[in-house]
Structure 1
Amino acid sequence: MDIRICKLNEKNQIRKIWEYCFNDSPGYVDFYFENKFDYNNTMVLDLDGNIISSIHLNQHTLRINSKKFDVSYVVGVSTLPEARGMGMMDDLMKKSILEMKNRGQMISILMPIDFRLYRKYGYTNCYNILVQSINIFDLKKFKINGTFKPATENSLENLEEIYRCHTSRLNGYSVRDTKYYKDFIKEMSVDSGYLYINYRGDEPVGYISYSIDGEKFIVRECYYKDVISYKSILKYIFNHNTQCKYVEIYSDLEDPLIDMLDNPKDSTFSIKPFMMARILDFKSFINSLELFSDSCKEVKIKVHDNYIDDNNGKFRLFADNNLLKISKLDDSEDYEFEFSIDELTSIFMGYSSIDSIMMMKNIMSGYEKLSELVKINSKTNHINEYV
Structure 2
Amino acid sequence: MEIRQLTMEDFENRAALSQFAFQMTWTEEQTAARKSGFKPEQDWGAFDEKGELMSALLLLPLEAWVQGRKLAMGGVAGVATWPEARRQGCVSRLLSHALKTMREQGQSVSMLHPFSFPFYRKFGYELTIERKKYTLDAKHLPPRGEAPGRVVRMTAPDIGVLDGIYSAYASRYNGNLVRTPKWWETRILTQEGSNLAVYYNESDVPEGYFYYKAKERILTVHEMAALTETARRALWSYAANHDSMVDEVALLAPMDDQLPLMLSDPRFKQEIVPYFMSRIVDAEAFAKLYAWEKGAGGESVLLQLEDRHAPWNDGTFRLSWSEEGEGALERLDSGSGRESGRGGEAIVCDIQTLAAMLLGGRKPTWLASVGRLAGSAESLRLLERRIPERTSFLMDFF
User: What is the TM-score when the length of structure 1 is the normalising length?
Assistant: 0.88
Tell me how far apart the structure 2 counterparts of residues 144 and 3 of structure 1 sit (CA, whole Å). Answer: 60
Partner of residue 148, structure 1: 152
Tell me how far apart the structure 2 counterparts of residues 111 and 31 of structure 1 sit (CA, whole Å). Answer: 26
Partner of residue 106, structure 1: 108
**1:118 to partner: Cα distance:** 0.5
SS at 2:194's partner residue?
A: strand
Partner of residue 8, structure 1: 8
Q: How many residues align?
A: 382
Partner of residue 200, structure 2: 200
Tell me how far apart the structure 2 counterparts of residues 86 and 22 of structure 1 sit (CA, whole Å). Answer: 20
Cα distance change, pair 370–55 in 1 and its aligned pair in 2 (3 A): same
Partner of residue 281, structure 1: 282
Asked if structure 1 preserves the Cα contact closer than 8 Å seen for 2:282 and 2:312, the reply is yes
Tell me how far apart the structure 2 counterparts of residues 149 and 46 of structure 1 sit (CA, whole Å). Answer: 51
Q: CA RMSD for the aligned pairs?
A: 2.9
User: What is the TM-score when the length of structure 2 is the normalising length?
Assistant: 0.85
Partner of residue 159, structure 1: 162
Cα distance change, pair 226–96 in 1 and its aligned pair in 2 (3 A): same
Cα distance change, pair 327–140 in 1 and its aligned pair in 2 (3 A): closer
Cα distance change, pair 270–38 in 1 and its aligned pair in 2 (3 A): same
Cα distance change, pair 9–204 in 1 and its aligned pair in 2 (3 A): farther
Cα distance change, pair 259–44 in 1 and its aligned pair in 2 (3 A): same
Asked if structure 1 preserves the Cα contact closer than 8 Å seen for 2:45 and 2:56, the reply is yes
SS at 2:80's partner residue?
A: strand
Moved more, 36-45 or 266-275: 36-45
Asked if structure 1 preserves the Cα contact closer than 8 Å seen for 2:143 and 2:240, the reply is no
Tell me how far apart the structure 1 counterparts of residues 227 and 36 of structure 2 sit (CA, whole Å). Answer: 29
Cα offsets for 1:356-378 (capped at 9, x unmatched)? 11112177983223422451111
**1:63 to partner: Cα distance:** 2.0
Q: Which amino acid in the other structure matches residue 165 of structure 2?
A: I
Cα distance change, pair 34–319 in 1 and its aligned pair in 2 (3 A): same
**1:285 to partner: Cα distance:** 0.8
Cα distance change, pair 203–6 in 1 and its aligned pair in 2 (3 A): same
Give structure 1 stretches of 5+ with no counterpart. none
Tell me how far apart the structure 1 counterparts of residues 349 and 199 of structure 2 sit (CA, whole Å). Answer: 49
Tell me how far apart the structure 2 counterparts of residues 2 and 363 of structure 1 sit (CA, whole Å). Answer: 37
Partner of residue 184, structure 2: 181
Partner of residue 55, structure 2: 53
Cα distance change, pair 290–100 in 1 and its aligned pair in 2 (3 A): same
**1:34 to partner: Cα distance:** 6.6
Runs of 4 or more above 6 Å deviation? 362-365
SS at 1:148's partner residue?
A: strand
Cα offsets for 1:209-255 (capped at 9, x unmatched)? 33456443222211123233323333443344444322111111232
Cα offsets for 1:270-304 (capped at 9, x unmatched)? 22111100111111111221423426543222111
Moved more, 161-170 or 237-246: 237-246
Partner of residue 357, structure 1: 367
Cα distance change, pair 197–12 in 1 and its aligned pair in 2 (3 A): farther
Cα distance change, pair 329–284 in 1 and its aligned pair in 2 (3 A): same
Tell me how far apart the structure 2 counterparts of residues 31 and 263 of structure 1 sit (CA, whole Å). Answer: 50
**1:8 to partner: Cα distance:** 2.6
Cα distance change, pair 158–24 in 1 and its aligned pair in 2 (3 A): farther
Identity in percent: 23
Moved more, 132-141 or 25-34: 25-34
Tell me how far apart the structure 1 counterparts of residues 14 and 189 of structure 2 sit (CA, whole Å). Answer: 22
Q: Which amino acid in the other structure matches residue 286 of structure 1?
A: A
**1:343 to partner: Cα distance:** 0.7
Give structure 2 stretches of 5+ with no counterpart. none
Q: Which amino acid in the other structure matches residue 299 of structure 1?
A: V
**1:68 to partner: Cα distance:** 1.9
SS at 1:172's partner residue?
A: coil
Matches within 5 A, 1:77-116: 77-116=79-118
